Amino acid sequence: MLKNFILGLFLVSTFNSSAQLQRLEELGQKMLQNTEASERAGAQILFTILLDSLMLEPSFFEKDLQEVKSLSAITSPDRELRLFTWNEPQEDGTYNFYGRVLFNPKKAKTNKVIKLKEKKQELARIKTKKLNDQEWFGAIYYQLIQKSHKRNIYYILLGWNGNTALSNIKLIDVLQVSKNGQQVSFGAPIFTGNQTLSRVIFEYSEKASMSLKFQDNGSRIVFDHLSPINTNMKDQFEFYSPDFTYDSYNWKKGKWIFNKNIDARNDGLNAGDERKKPEKGLQPK
């Protein structure tokens, strides 16, 4: 293991850009698919070292990373930042999540990177909490839109979290950057309904697939309504699945307004890769 670690450091400094991305994907696939936990963990370490080194290059913000399928990379519409997330499957059916926020060096005047540290937390508590970069609720983000209200800029994130061997999670979260540009936070009390939430979490059966996506140029978020397969299983979310009705959040005056049982028959919710099961934990982009 130590030999591989040292070799990885050497590769970081000697590969050209194309070869580095190829090496990054090789490590990523090993991290996701190797049957040995120690090999996955080792690959994750080298993956992180290589990715962090690449982020030091000013041109990396604009780099096309489609060939690195083990990494989710999404850029904000204002091109202020780029968000990278990846995960490592664990033996018990859970996942460890990792993330980086890279600020545009042309605007930030430097290669500024914020490392996100995952903190496992009780789901019910974090729905109303604002979290910093050291208590991040880990996820693979697959869509990002930008909303503004008064002087606040919200980066709205749709993501996936493998949760446990029995259930998955999809979520709507909010990323904000501090006024001085030095810190990021997650969550904002802008989701209204029966309760005002800072983020929205959907937990459902590992055997099911749930659609959650932006529509109409980001003016609304449409998603499957989840129900237990049996009324006796209420709040046992490993038995929840889509019931073929749909709900939404609509953006209005700085808030996401909840709308129940919408007509989404023509919205294509049954098509596209969001219905696919995540491959070894990485949500399709």
At 195-206, the pLDDT tens digits run 999 999 999 999
- Domain residue extents for the chain: 1-116, 120-278
CA distance 119 to 126: 11
How crowded is the C-beta side of 260, counted as CA atoms within 13 Å?
4
Q: What is the distance between the alpha carbons of residues 156 and 90, in angstroms, rounded to a whole number?
A: 28
Q: What's the confidence (pLDDT) of residue 267?
A: 59
Residues 6+ away with beta carbon under 8 Å from 20: 11, 12, 50, 54
How many other C-beta atoms can be found within 10 angstroms of the C-beta atom of residue 40?
Answer: 19
Instruction: Express each pLDDT in 167-186 by its tens digit.
Output: 999 999 999 999 988 899 99
Computed over every residue of the chain, the mean pLDDT equals 89
- Dist CA 121 CA 138 (whole Å): 10
pTM (2 d.p.) = 0.88
* pLDDT more than 70, % of the chain: 87
Q: State whether residue 222 is helix, strand or coil.
A: strand
Three-state DSSP state, 57? coil
Cα separation, 141 vs 159, in Å, equals 4
Of 75, 77, 93, 94, nearest to 85 by C-alpha is 75
